[in-house]
Amino acid sequence: MSGLAIDMTGISKAFGPVKALVDADLRVARGTIHGLVGQNGAGKSTIIKVLAGILKPDSGRITINGTRVESLTPASVERLGVHFIHQERLLVPTATVAEAVFLNYELRFGPFLRPGAMKRRAEELIRTHFGLELPGDTLVRDLTTAQQKIVQITRALAQEAKVLVLDEPTAALVKREVDSLFAVLRNLRAQGIAVIFISHYMQEIEDLCDEVTVMRNGTDVGVVRPGETSIDEIVSMMIARDVGEMFPRRSHALGAPVLRVEGLSQAGHFRNVSFEVRAGEVLGITGLLGSGVKELVECLFGLEQPDAGSVTIDGEVRRFANPGRAVQGRMALVPEDRRAHGVATDMSVRDNITIASLDRYMTRGFVSRARENEAVDGFIRELSIKTPHRDQLVRNLSGGNQQKVALAKWLSCQSRVYVLDEPTVAVDVGAKVEIYTLLNRLAAEGAAILFLSSDLLEIAGFCDRALVVYRGTLNGEFAGETLDSDLLLAAASGARAQRKEA
């Protein structure tokens, strides 16, 4: 018997004319953590869906733990000990932790469930694997994202998983949670479990994985060991060109202040926040979870109301009672939760792009399809949104292209102030650079950009200036020499305020 937990060979899968997988291989040895990287659309999700029994491959051979499998269904895959922690598959919000852990594998006594036993067993599993005390009767909806991940992994462990597949497991986690997740995965590896780890975060891949399969254009272009291959080399393999400059430069001069925030406060969240963003400027803002920076952004866009202070746009004091007013005030928000707030995945590319600016496409009271289509085709070209046509449902686009649609919505409004909340989360490297380039062009055209990110390297690399929010107040402004991820991190964690050194 081979030492391979998963052996997928020559897998091909086409959707109509689109070849999603072309003769792709994925081999994962027992007791290793195997990274799977590639740009969106490279075929990562497709090969994982094939393994999960969700998609049927057109050709190819799959062997799981030495057993050749002919046709897979989601249920049969689980019986073979392969478990998936999907990025979006959510738990039932009204279930308890114990119910979620034993969903579909309930402990029984004859025909009767054993709730007490399931609660004890769930708590015990979580304690031994995660060193965490999580009462088994807690409702899933009361858990943090990290705890929900833990519950999902615990469910797999309760079924004695042999292979664990994690799709972007760290996307919504803070650093400390990521560290403890990694400790758990290393522990599982020591127990002989194979882990397939999909992530856009190269640093995580390097820290965690023993081997990495790099995918591009529907096939595997190499298997590398992170110890022997640098991140840059891996990224080059992914995009088949040199990464070049990750953060494209801006050279335009800054104009007059566009957005001015003075003494803005909201009880319990932030107080006395003042700053300004000039035309053409990209101002970074960051803060840890609970710092109040999210609420600050919500107040700017009219989703929440501040208790005190003022917001001025182009010299005019504005108070937005709701997002509708903010949009009229030519403010744009690209929200963090793209699927809930950014794009309507069941609507077309066109409908998503024009939804906030329909009045721009009106002729005699009716929406002019012709003008709309012309504008939308323009945005698709300009932003190189990869979609077969404007009527495509946004659901069928990759993460990066969905984010471009979310941005195009505000370009269509000709917004003046862009507030971006984690715009590059779950966006692949290539699309990230495209988004940066696009923001640079907006800035060059005189827009003011407030860029909220928890990726401090991104803040340091991309922004002109950066603010750090710590426990509801600004804790330092950084520019030039001081705009450095270590200093940002120190300020975000509460180190004494820094002075700007221009």
Partner 1 sequence: MSLSLSRHLPKDRESFSTLAVLVAFVGLFLVFATQADAFLTLGNLRNVLVNNVVLLAIVALGVTFVVSSGGIDLSVGVSVDMASLVFVSALAAGVAAPLGLAAGLGAALLVGLLNAILIARLKISPFLATLGVLFIGQSVQRLATGGGQPIYLVTKDYAEIFNAISRSSLLGVPTPVWVLILCVLATWLALHRMGFGRQVQAIGARPGVAWYSGIRVPSRLTQVYILAAVLAGITGILLSATVRSYVPMSGNAFLLDAIGATFIGTTISRERRPSILGTLLGVALLAMVKNGLLLIGWNFYWQQVGIGVLVFAVLALSFGLQRRH
Considering beta carbons, is residue 151 or 333 the nearer one to partner 1? 333
Whole-angstrom distance, CA of residue 416 vs CA of residue 440: 14
Place of tokens 């003075």: 262
Judged by CB under 8 A, the residue of 1, 75, 190, 340 near partner 1 is: 340
The answer to whether residues 220 and 213 touch, using CB atoms and an 8 Å cutoff, is yes
Q: Which stretch binds partner 1 (CB under 8 A): 3-11, 229-237, 262-270, 341-349?
A: 341-349
**Closest distance of CB 432 from partner 1, Å:** 22
Place of tokens 């081997």: 211
Whole-angstrom distance, CA of residue 43 vs CA of residue 135: 39
Q: Check residue 416 for interaction with partner 1 (CB under 8 A).
A: no
49's enclosing H/E stretch is: helix 44-51
How many binding residues for partner 1 (CB under 8 A)?
A: 41
Q: Check residue 347 for interaction with partner 1 (CB under 8 A).
A: yes
77's enclosing H/E stretch is: helix 74-79
Judged by CB under 8 A, the residue of 343, 438, 452, 468 near partner 1 is: 343
Q: Secondary structure of the chain: what % helix, strand, coil (to 5)?
A: 35, 25, 35
**Closest distance of CB 362 from partner 1, Å:** 7
Residue by residue, what is the 3-state secondary structure of 420-455?
EECCCCCCCHHHHHHHHHHHHHHHHCCCEEEEECCC
Paired with 469 in beta bridges are 287, 474
Residue by residue, what is the 3-state secondary structure of 377-415?
HHHHHHCCCCCCCCCCEHHHCCHHHHHHHHHHHHHHCCC
Considering beta carbons, is residue 342 or 476 the nearer one to partner 1? 342
**Closest distance of CB 348 from partner 1, Å:** 8
**Closest distance of CB 236 from partner 1, Å:** 29
Considering beta carbons, is residue 164 or 333 the nearer one to partner 1? 333
Considering beta carbons, is residue 241 or 364 the nearer one to partner 1? 364
**Closest distance of CB 367 from partner 1, Å:** 6
Judged by CB under 8 A, the residue of 144, 145, 328, 414 near partner 1 is: 328
Q: Check residue 437 for interaction with partner 1 (CB under 8 A).
A: no
Judged by CB under 8 A, the residue of 54, 139, 174, 303 near partner 1 is: 303
Start-to-end CA distance of the chain, whole Å, equals 64
Q: Which residues bind partner 1 (CB under 8 A)?
A: 16-17, 301, 303, 322-328, 333, 335, 337, 339-348, 351-352, 354-356, 358-359, 362, 365-367, 388-389, 391-393, 409
